[in-house]
């Protein structure tokens, strides 16, 4: 029995949060029961951890149970950490890019707020904030970089070492962009772009071609099946983002 002087088991604490929503989840589960998708998510999460650690120059000293917590449920993936915002930031971008290769478009939010997370329970203001950003602001297949996340990063970094913490994630940016509505979102195509010269298996031109073809396929599918304008708008946004990236980085031959 707890007394007022005893700490509560369910005390929340500030966390960096990535809340991701898989678009088209229902159709995939109805098609094959969801087992294939679950396996894809599981393997992609492992790859995202390896990518983030490699990108930041870390070895296996990152202990996931204490540094990064992950829970996949229904059509959502939640990643949270109290300190390792850099790993979380890169994992989210990598997940978004890699999942599109498997036909899964993702939208979501990166924010910072109170959260409680254990094997049974997940609750707190952070999950509410993240869900609202994902559902009301993200709208398109983009991961919104909320001001609360960016402020928390700035508050944890020393000003004499770093001017803009995000610029120093890889030494080269932008790993996020400002959209036409003023919101910041993860520049997920930049993730493999920065790693191109160091990872033998990465070929950016092939990746851009695959991304282009996947987006074109979904736009055409919307047209042929007379799907909603809202859904069409999501893939048209992807096409605009794809073309912006190609034109900015010298890949004009790969525009849609």
Residue 185 CA, distance from chain mean position: 9
Strand partners of residue 106: 22
Q: What pLDDT does residue 131 have?
A: 96
Q: Which two tokens stand for residue 3?
A: 């007394």
For the chain, residues with pLDDT lower than 70 are 1-8, 58-66, 157-174, 192-202
Q: What counts of helices (H) and strands (E) characterise the chain? A: 9, 8
Element (H, E) at 204: helix 204-224
Confidence at residue 47, expressed as pLDDT on a 0 to 100 scale: 87
**pLDDT on residue 161:** 40
Q: Where are the alpha helices (DSSP H) in 33-146?
A: 35-55, 64-67, 85-101, 125-132
Cα–Cα distances (Å) from 143 to 45, 94, 130, 185, 218, in that order, read 16, 11, 11, 5, 19
Task: Report pLDDT digits (tens) over 209-219.
Answer: 999 999 999 99
According to the model, what pLDDT value does residue 163 have?
41
Residue 34 is predicted with a pLDDT of 82
pLDDT of residue 166: 54
Reported pTM: 0.86
Helix (H, G, I), strand (E, B) or coil at 91: helix
């Amino acid at each position: 029995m707890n007394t007022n002087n005893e700490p509560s088991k369910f005390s929340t604490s500030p966390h960096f949060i990535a809340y991701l929503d898989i678009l088209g989840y229902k159709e995939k589960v109805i098609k094959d029961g969801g087992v294939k998708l679950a396996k894809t998510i599981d393997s992609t999460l492992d790859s995202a951890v390896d990518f983030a650690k490699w990108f930041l120059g870390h070895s296996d000293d990152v202990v996931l149970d204490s540094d990064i917590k992950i829970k996949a449920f229904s059509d959502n993936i939640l990643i949270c950490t109290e300190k390792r915002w850099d790993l979380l930031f890169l994992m989210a971008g990598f997940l978004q890019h890699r999942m599109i290769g498997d036909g899964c478009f993702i939208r979501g939010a990166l924010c910072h707020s109170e959260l409680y997370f254990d094997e049974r329970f997940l609750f707190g203001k952070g999950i509410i904030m993240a869900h609202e950003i994902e559902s009301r602001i993200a709208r398109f297949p983009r991961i919104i970089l909320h001001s609360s996340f960016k402020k928390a990063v700035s508050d944890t970094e020393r000003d004499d070492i770093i001017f803009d913490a995000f610029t120093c994630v890889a030494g080269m940016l932008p790993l996020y962009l400002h959209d036409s509505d003023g919101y910041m979102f993860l520049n997920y195509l930049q993730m493999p772009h920065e790693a191109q010269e160091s990872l033998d298996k990465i070929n950016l031109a092939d990746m851009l071609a695959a991304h282009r073809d996947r987006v074109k396929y979904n736009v055409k599918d919307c047209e042929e099946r007379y799907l909603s304008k809202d859904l069409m708008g999501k893939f048209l946004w992807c096409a605009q983002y794809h073309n912006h990236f190609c034109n900015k980085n010298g890949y004009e031959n790969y525009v849609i």
